[in-house]
Amino acid sequence: MEQDTPENHHSSDAGQALIPPTHEECIRLAEAILFASAAPVTEEELLGRLPEGSDVARILNDLEQFYALRGVNLVRVAGGWAFRTATDLGFMLARNIVENRKLSRAAIETLAIIAYHQPVTRAEIEEIRGVTTSKGTIDTLLETSWIRLRGRRRSPGRPVTYGTTRVFLDHFGLDAITDLPGLEELKGAGLLEGRLPAGLDLPLPNDTDTLLPDEDPLDEGDLFYGMDTENQDEDETEPDGEI
């Protein structure tokens, strides 16, 4: 009979440590990671945090099905996965939601132009809108984290270019920027009415992090761009009482 020695115990413990976690254990870990995250978690991020060999696609599929009929659902948003209140229960929780002030028409138009035409400069935004855009409007959108500074255009003055963020996708329930409605969808929803300019078209939006050939990287001081709120010009299209 083999004698029970400390060496034997050590060998036994090491053998147990090598046992890979079960699929159910990986599901529990992924569930905890998703619940604890303040932002959508990508499949690549999950793969890096789960035990080696975990079937991330199967884990997410099982969690999605498990929560499909519950009070919270696992949904794909902003290129990742996150838990969200079931859509049919949202109205019951309205009393617990802080009511935000509405964006002004100028801010909404500016956000839409950035979303569809990014990367875009302030001057290009003004050319599309046909009216001067105040620094306050841009600052408001930067504060919401819906837009970001991308780079600087390789043109006289090297103006800053703007683009949207993952926070923008998350807030509006989009998985990717290409999920934005096209021209025909906007017409069908009644959001574009009246006589439209001939040849009006919406470009295919692209929020890639890769700078375009006509963009330079941001300068060192651009981190603080837009933080000075003094002496901001007022946009005449912004009604009083709105952001």
Residue 5 lies in a domain: no
Domain range holding 55? 20-88
Same domain, 126 and 212: yes
pLDDT at position 95 is: 62
Mean pLDDT of the region 229-242: 39
pLDDT level of residue 130 (50, 70, 90 thresholds):
confident
Same domain, 115 and 171: yes
Residue 98 lies in a domain: no
> Is the omega angle on the peptide bond into residue 119 within 30 degrees of 0, that is, cis?
yes
Same domain, 166 and 58: no
Same domain, 180 and 112: yes
The DSSP output letter for 52 is T
Cβ(174)–Cβ(165) under 8 Å?
no
Q: Which DSSP string do the residues of 111-158 spell out, in sequence order? A: HHHHHHH-SEEHHHHHHHHTS---HHHHHHHHHTTSEEEEEEESSTT-
pLDDT level of residue 159 (50, 70, 90 thresholds):
very high
Other residues' Cβ atoms within 10 Å of the Cβ of residue 192: 14
Residue where a domain terminates, one of 62, 88, 114: 88
Mean pLDDT of the region 191-203: 56
Tokens of residue 191, six digits: 């959001």
Same domain, 163 and 66: no
pLDDT level of residue 199 (50, 70, 90 thresholds):
low
The share of the chain scoring above pLDDT 70, in percent, equals 73
d(CA 58, CA 69): 18
Same domain, 26 and 77: yes
pLDDT by residue (tens digit) across 9-47?
444 444 445 677 899 999 999 999 999 998 899 999 999
Nearest to 146 by CA among 121, 175, 171, 117: 171
pLDDT > 50? residue 106: yes
pTM metric for this prediction: 0.58
Residue 112 lies in a domain: yes
Number of domains the chain is built from: 2
Same domain, 118 and 192: yes
pLDDT > 90? residue 146: yes
Q: Rg (Cα) of the chain, in Å, rounded?
A: 25
Mean pLDDT score across all residues of the chain: 79
**CA torsion through residues 7, 9, 11, 13, sign:** negative
Q: Which helix (H) or strand (E) holds 76?
A: strand 72-77
pLDDT at position 74 is: 95
Q: Is 226 left (phi over 0), alpha (psi -120 to 50) or beta?
A: left
CATH code, domain with 195: 1.10.10.10
pLDDT at position 189 is: 58
Same domain, 137 and 216: yes
Please give the torsion angle defined by the CA atoms of residues 96, 101, 102 and 104, in that order, rounded to the nearest 10 degrees: -170
pLDDT level of residue 223 (50, 70, 90 thresholds):
low
Residue 186 lies in a domain: yes
